[in-house]
């Protein structure tokens, strides 16, 4: 144990550090992103590598202030740059019914786009 009764390897964010992140929607899913993060989202077919895309925002956390008002968030778009298009891991789908000879095998590989978050606009204006 170190000072204060906390374990030796335990680190906490200092009050002076401001953590800015956002919850964004892309492809029917929600992702928590911060500036500099690389995130895999469902394929954005209209975007080419190097293009800039805008993601709709559901929540913005800027230090102690949390913005979830839909009217304010309608004007905030997270900017991201397309890094790569690739396929995910293969998923095997097997169907089998006992004593009837029914067997079906199917596979699937999801298409993904890797994006790097470049800017999260602040809600306070």
- pLDDT (tens digit, 0 to 9) for every residue of the chain, 125 residues total? 455 555 655 555 554 456 899 999 998 999 999 999 999 999 999 999 999 999 999 999 988 889 999 999 998 999 999 999 999 999 999 999 999 999 999 999 999 999 999 999 876 65
Total-model pTM: 0.75
Does residue 7 sit within a domain?
no
Domain that holds residue 61: 17-119
Does residue 10 sit within a domain?
no
Position 124 scores a pLDDT of 63
Position 13 scores a pLDDT of 53
> What is the Cα–Cα distance from 103 to 113, expressed in whole angstroms?
33
Q: What is the DSSP pairing of strand 111-119 with strand 52-62?
A: unpaired
Number of structural domains (the chain) is 1
Does residue 5 sit within a domain?
no
Q: Quick check: helix, strand or coil at residue 99?
A: coil
Does residue 12 sit within a domain?
no
């Amino acid at each position: 144990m170190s000072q204060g009764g906390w374990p030796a390897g335990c680190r906490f964010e200092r009050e002076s550090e401001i953590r800015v992140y956002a919850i964004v929607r892309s492809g029917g899913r929600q992702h928590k992103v911060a500036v500099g993060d690389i995130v895999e989202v469902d394929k954005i077919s209209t975007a080419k590598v190097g293009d800039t895309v805008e993601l709709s925002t559901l929540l913005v956390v800027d230090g102690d202030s949390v913005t979830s008002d839909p009217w304010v968030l309608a004007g905030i778009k997270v900017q991201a740059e397309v890094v790569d298009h690739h396929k995910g891991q293969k998923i095997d789908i097997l169907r089998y019914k006992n004593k009837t000879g029914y067997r079906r095998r199917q596979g699937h590989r999801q298409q993904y786009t890797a994006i790097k978050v470049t800017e999260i606009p602040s809600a306070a204006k």
